[in-house]
C-alpha cells in the first residue's frame, strides 16, 4: 500500500512564511489494518505533525510508521520504531528532530520515560502537539504531561479489553452466538442471515452458526458410544484409524498444517470427549491470553501473550441450545463422570523409582519412521524404543515393526572408541582434511550482487554534500527536497541489504585456518578422552557438544551416527546383536 502525502506537504509548505530550517523525522502507528485504514491514519497523524512544525520552519524528510503493531509493545519491538531508535545512533542521519502527531499511539504506560533519555543522549529533539512544540527533558511539566498521556493510553487499551470480553461473554451466554474460530470436529458452518450490527451488515458481514457435518458427525457419536461401552482412548484411536476414518487434521488440513493427518491420536479423542459444544450449547472462554514478561531481567522489553487453558468453571456456556446437539446432555455428563472415576481409581500408589539417566537422551532416531526413540528401562538395562501401532503403519503405508528396540550398552563402547580415534592427535590432521574438503564440496557459489540503485554509503555521501550546501547558503527549500529524495533512496538501499540472503553458515568452517580447526579439535579431544570413566550425565553433555545424532536401522541392526561440526557428517558404527 502506497502512502503518498507529497501534495499535503507541498500545500502546507506553500502556506508557511518561514523557510525550513530544521529537518524532522515523523513517527506514527496504526494498530491493525482490519479496523483502520493505514493510509488514512497516517494522513491525519502526518497532518497534525505538519501543522505543528511547518509554521516554525520545519520539514519532514523521513517517515517511520508502524502498521499492525500494538501500542503495548515497547519501541524496541516495533519494526519502524526500532529503526528510528537505530537512526538516532547514526551521526549521519538526515534529521535533527522527531515529530509525533499523536502521542497516544506512540507511547504506552511508562514507554516515554524509557525512550526520552535516548533522544536527549543523542541530541535529537522530540516534538509533540500536546506541549506545543519541543519537549524539554529538564521540564517537569513536560514530563508529567507525557506520563499522563502514557497512562491514559494504557487505560484506554484496558477499557477496550474489558468491554470486548464482557460483550463476548454476554453474546455467548444470552444469545448463544458463534463468535468465530475453527468449528469443532463434527460440525461445519452455516449462514444465519445478516449481522445484527447495522454497520457490519452494511459491510456485507453475516452471522454464522454450527450445523452437523454429514461426514464427521457420525464419527463423533461413535467416539462417545465406544467410550460409554468401556473402550479406552487409545483403543478408540486405533479403531478409528484401522477403519480409515478421517481424523481432524485429515478432515481440515488447511487449518491443521502442523499435523500430518495420518492417524488418530489419543489427544484428539480426548479433546472431543471433553468438549461440551457437542451438547448443543455454545461455549466461550476455554482459553485465555496471559501477558507475561518477555525477559524477567529486562522489564523494559515488555510483555508477550501466552495462550493458556482455563479451568471448566471459567468457561461461559449459553443458557439455551444454540445449535443441533450431537450428544445428549445425560450421555455427555456420564462421560465426564467416567473421566473423573478413572482418574481417582488408578492403580495403587507405588514408591517413586529413581530417575534413570540416559546417555543418548533425545539423540536416537528410528530409521523407519524418523521419530525420536524413547528411553525405557527393563531389569536394570537401558533401552531405546519406537512403538508404532499397526494401524498407524497401515495408514502411512510404512512397513514398521510394532516395536523397535535398541540396547544402550551395546552402543556405548563402539561409539566412544570411534570418537576417541577420530579426535586423537594422530588422526586430527586427517579429520581436518576431511572437514575442509567437505566444506568445499558443500559451500554454495555466491550469487553476484547487482546494485539496483545507490548504496547506503553513496546516499550518506550525498546527504553530507547537501548539508554542506545548506551551510554555504544554498536555498533551503531546494536542498530540503534533495534531502527528502536521498533519504527515500537510502531507505530502499537499507531494505535491500536487509532482504539480502544471509551468508550460509555451513560454509563458516571454510573461513577457518587449519590451525584454528586443530585448536577446536584439541578442545573436543580433551572432552572425548574423558568419556571412558564419565558419568551418564557427563557423557550426554559431551555427545551434545559434538552434535551427535544416531539413527537406528532395525532391518540391518546398524546405527548411522553423525557428528555435527559446522554441518559436516561421518558414518559411524555397526551394532551387533541388536533387536
Q: Is residue 177 within 8 Å of 205, Cβ to Cβ?
A: no
Specify whether the CB–CB gap between 210 and 189 falls below 8 A.
yes
CATH number at 267 reads 3.90.1750.20
Expressed as residue numbers, the domain containing 278 is 187-282+318-343
Residues 270 and 402 in one domain: no
Q: What pLDDT sits at residue 572?
A: 41
What CATH number does the domain containing 21 carry?
Answer: 3.40.50.1390
Q: Is residue 210 part of a domain?
A: yes
Grouping H, G, I as helix, E, B as strand and the rest as coil, residue 539 is: helix
pTM of the model: 0.56
Backbone phi, psi, residue 83, to 5°? -65, -35
Residues 248 and 359 in one domain: no
Q: Characterize the bridge pairing of strands 548-553 and 364-366.
A: parallel
- In-domain check, residue 15: yes
Same domain? 125 vs 147: yes
| Whether residue 537 sits in one domain with residue 434 | yes
209 and 100 fall within a common domain: no
Q: Confirm if 328 and 279 have CB atoms less than 8 A apart.
A: yes
Q: Are residues 522 and 565 in the same domain?
A: yes
Q: For residue 169, tell me if it sits in a domain.
A: no
Dihedral angle, C-alpha 510, 514, 517, 519, nearest 10 °: -160
Q: Is residue 151 domain-shared with residue 198, that is, in the same domain? A: no
CA gap 171, 178 in Å, rounded: 9
Q: Is residue 311 part of a domain?
A: no
- Number of domains making up the chain: 4
Of 142, 157, 172, the residue that ends a domain is 157
Q: Which of 347, 389, 386, 346 is nearest to 234 (CA)?
A: 389
**Cβ atoms within 10 Å, residue 148:** 12
Q: Cell numbers of 144, please?
A: 508529567
For residues 99 and 54, membership in a common domain is answered with yes
User: Is 181 part of a structural domain of the chain?
Assistant: no
Do 334 and 360 fall into the same domain? no
Q: Which of 459, 450, 466 is nearest to 494 (CA)?
A: 459
pLDDT of res. 202: 79
Are residues 391 and 467 both part of a single domain?
no
Query: What's the pLDDT at 477?
Result: 59
Q: What's the pLDDT score for residue 35? A: 63
Task: Please check whether residue 27 is in contact with residue 65, taking contact to mean a CB–CB distance below 8 angstroms.
Answer: yes
Residue 39 counted as domain residue: yes
Burial (CB count <10 Å: 0-12, 13-18, 19+), residue 270: middle
Give me the residue label for grid cell 526500532.
82
- 170 assigned to some structural domain: no
Residues 143 and 207 reside in one and the same domain: no
The backbone torsions φ and ψ at residue 126, rounded to the nearest 5 degrees and listed phi first, read -125, 120
**What's the order of all strands across the beta sheet hosting 374-378?**
374-378, 381-387, 403-407
- Whether residue 308 lies inside any domain: the answer is no
* Rounded Cα gap, residues 14 and 320, in angstroms: 65
Tell the residue number behind the cell numbers 506545543, with chain if given: 132
Taking the chain (579 residues) in runs of 10, the rounded mean pLDDT of each run is 50 44 90 72 91 90 91 90 92 92 88 91 92 90 87 85 88 87 90 83 84 94 94 89 86 72 84 93 88 80 84 89 93 91 60 66 86 84 81 64 86 80 67 62 45 67 70 62 71 65 46 60 56 70 80 89 57 40
In whole angstroms, give the CA distance from residue 472 to residue 487.
21
Residues 434 and 529 in one domain: yes
Amino acid at each position: 500500500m502506497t502512502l503518498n502525502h507529497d501534495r499535503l506537504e507541498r500545500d502546507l509548505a506553500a502556506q508557511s512564511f518561514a523557510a525550513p530550517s530544521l529537518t524532522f523525522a515523523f513517527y506514527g502507528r496504526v494498530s491493525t489494518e482490519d479496523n483502520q485504514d493505514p493510509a488514512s491514519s497516517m494522513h491525519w497523524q502526518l497532518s497534525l505533525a505538519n501543522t505543528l512544525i511547518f509554521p516554525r520552519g520545519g520539514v519532514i524528510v523521513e517517515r517511520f510508521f508502524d502498521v499492525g503493531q500494538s501500542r503495548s509493545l515497547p519501541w524496541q519491538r516495533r519494526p519502524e520504531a526500532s529503526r528510528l531508535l537505530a537512526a538516532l545512533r547514526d551521526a549521519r542521519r538526515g534529521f535533527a528532530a522527531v515529530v509525533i502527531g499523536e502521542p497516544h499511539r506512540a507511547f504506552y504506560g511508562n514507554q516515554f520515560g524509557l525512550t526520552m533519555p535516548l533522544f536527549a543522549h543523542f541530541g535529537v529533539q522530540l516534538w509533540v502537539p500536546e506541549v506545543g512544540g519541543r519537549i524539554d527533558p529538564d521540564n517537569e511539566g513536560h514530563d508529567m504531561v507525557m506520563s499522563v498521556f502514557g497512562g491514559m493510553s494504557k487505560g484506554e487499551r484496558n477499557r477496550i479489553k474489558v468491554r470486548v470480553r464482557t460483550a463476548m461473554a454476554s453474546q455467548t451466554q444470552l444469545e448463544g452466538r458463534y463468535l468465530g474460530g475453527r468449528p469443532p470436529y463434527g460440525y461445519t458452518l452455516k449462514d444465519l442471515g445478516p449481522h445484527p450490527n447495522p454497520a457490519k451488515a452494511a459491510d456485507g458481514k453475516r452471522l454464522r452458526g454450527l450445523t452437523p457435518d454429514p461426514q464427521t458427525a457420525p464419527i463423533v457419536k461413535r467416539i462417545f458410544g465406544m467410550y460409554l461401552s468401556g473402550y479406552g482412548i487409545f483403543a478408540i484411536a486405533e479403531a478409528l484409524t484401522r477403519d480409515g476414518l478421517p481424523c481432524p487434521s485429515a478432515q481440515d488440513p488447511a487449518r491443521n498444517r502442523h499435523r500430518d493427518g495420518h492417524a488418530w491420536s489419543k489427544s484428539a479423542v480426548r479433546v472431543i470427549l471433553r468438549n461440551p459444544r457437542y451438547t448443543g450449547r455454545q461455549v466461550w472462554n476455554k482459553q485465555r491470553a496471559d501477558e507475561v514478561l518477555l525477559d524477567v531481567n529486562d522489564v523494559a522489553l515488555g510483555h508477550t501473550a501466552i495462550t493458556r487453558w482455563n479451568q471448566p468453571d471459567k468457561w461461559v456456556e449459553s443458557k439455551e441450545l444454540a445449535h443441533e446437539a450431537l450428544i445428549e446432555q445425560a450421555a455427555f455428563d456420564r462421560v465426564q463422570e467416567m473421566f473423573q472415576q478413572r482418574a481417582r481409581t488408578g492403580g495403587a500408589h507405588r514408591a517413586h523409582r529413581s530417575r534413570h539417566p540416559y546417555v543418548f537422551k533425545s539423540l536416537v532416531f528410528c530409521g523407519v519412521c524418523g521419530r525420536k526413540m524413547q528411553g525405557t528401562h527393563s531389569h536394570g538395562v537401558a533401552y531405546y524404543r519406537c512403538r508404532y501401532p499397526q494401524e498407524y503403519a497401515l495408514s502411512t503405508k510404512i512397513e514398521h515393526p510394532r516395536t523397535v528396540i535398541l540396547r544402550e550398552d551395546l552402543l556405548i563402547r563402539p561409539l566412544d572408541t570411534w570418537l576417541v580415534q577420530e579426535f586423537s592427535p594422530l588422526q586430527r590432521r586427517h579429520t581436518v582434511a576431511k572437514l575442509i574438503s567437505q566444506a568445499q564440496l558443500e559451500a554454495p557459489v555466491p550469487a553476484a550482487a547487482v546494485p539496483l540503485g545507490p548504496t547506503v554509503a553513496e546516499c550518506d555521501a550525498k546527504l553530507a554534500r547537501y548539508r554542506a550546501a545548506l551551510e554555504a547558503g544554498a536555498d533551503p527549500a531546494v536542498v530540503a527536497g534533495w534531502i527528502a529524495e536521498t533519504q527515500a533512496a537510502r531507505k530502499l538501499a537499507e531494505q535491500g541489504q536487509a532482504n539480502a540472503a544471509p551468508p550460509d553458515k555451513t560454509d563458516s568452517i571454510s573461513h577457518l585456518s587449519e590451525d584454528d580447526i586443530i585448536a577446536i579439535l584439541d578442545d573436543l579431544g580433551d572432552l572425548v578422552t574423558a568419556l571412558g570413566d564419565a558419568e551418564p550425565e557427563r557423557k550426554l553433555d559431551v555427545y551434545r557438544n559434538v552434535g551427535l545424532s544416531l539413527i537406528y536401522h532395525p532391518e540391518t541392526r546398524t546405527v548411522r551416527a553423525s557428528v555435527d561440526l559446522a554441518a559436516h557428517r561421518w558414518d559411524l558404527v555397526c551394532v551387533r546383536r541388536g533387536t
